[in-house]
Chain A
Amino acid sequence: EVQLVESGGGLVQPGGSLRLSCAASGFTLSDQYMDWVRQAPGKGLEWVGRIRNKANTYTTEYAASVKGRFTISRDDSKNSLYLQMNSLRTEDTAVYYCARASGTRYSSSWHWYFDYWGQGTLVTVSS
């Protein structure tokens, strides 16, 4: 059974840092792309960023709103995904979800869609 369990959320002051973790089980992490998605209180879903798999040299993509402040990393040997958040702002307050992305090949390209989600961890940025 695929499971994703986030941890590390909490209360942090503006300008502070926080590191979220996502523990994966039930599948081979190194094969998958992994993403972070967030949801501000009462709002919709917002994609934060992605880290590709080992075959694609763990390269990353980020939303413009977090680029330069957030860093996604992974340790496949520990079946874990991470989100390092620096220079936090009040607008970063949200539930943060990790999500697994599975790939399908169409013509000559691969496309990656979300299939499993964690339960989320709440990050509150406030003084």
Chain B
Amino acid sequence: DIQMTQSPSSLSASVGDRVTITCRASQGISNYLAWFQQKPGKAPKSLIYAASNLQSGVPSKFSGSGSGTDFTLTISSLQPEDFATYYCQQYNSYPLTFGGGTKVEIK
């Protein structure tokens, strides 16, 4: 199975900050990497697929990059509605696997 490791597991940031979350795959997954946002008590929301493609309706303050084993999700200017937990997920091979999540909290 491909292990997905996210770092950090949590971070504190202020409104307006630029935030970067990293995700590392235990083996190469090309660009078959997605990112999701989840707020407490809510379903995940799809943000990015194929490492860098924004899902329809997702604001351009979110961006993704990477290929192979190392990936990043960047939020260019953190807003109050962005405080949430973020997950990466590989869809290169079965079983599909998720990272452990990064909780973004208000400083």
Q: Which A residues are in CB contact (< 8 Å) with B43?
A: 97, 117-120
| Complex interface: stretch among B17-25, B68-76, B91-99 | B91-99
- CB-defined interface of B48-68 with A at 8 Å, one 1/0 digit per residue? 011000011000000000000
In angstroms, Cα B78 to Cα A24, docked, is 33
| 6 other A-B residue contacts (CB within 8 Å) besides A111-B50, A120-B43 | A44-B100, A104-B50, A111-B91, A111-B92, A115-B55, A117-B44
CB distance from B1 to the nearest CB of A (A): 8
19 pairs across A/B with beta carbons < 8 Å? A35-B96, A45-B38, A45-B87, A45-B89, A45-B101, A47-B96, A50-B96, A63-B95, A97-B43, A104-B49, A104-B50, A111-B91, A113-B32, A114-B44, A114-B49, A115-B49, A116-B46, A117-B43, A119-B43
How many angstroms from the CA of A97 to the CA of B87 in the assembled complex?
15
CA distance A46 to B89 in the complex (A): 10
Residues of B25-55 at the interface with A, using a CB-CB cut-off of 8 Å, are 30, 32, 34, 36, 38, 42-46, 49-50, 55
Contact with B along A31-60 (1 / 0, CB 8 A): 000010100000011110010000000000
User: Which residue of A is nearest B49, CB measured?
Assistant: A113
Q: A87 vs B32: C-alpha distance in the bound complex, in angstroms?
A: 33
Question: Given A111-B32, A111-B92, is A47 in contact with B98 using a C-beta cutoff of 8 Å?
Answer: yes
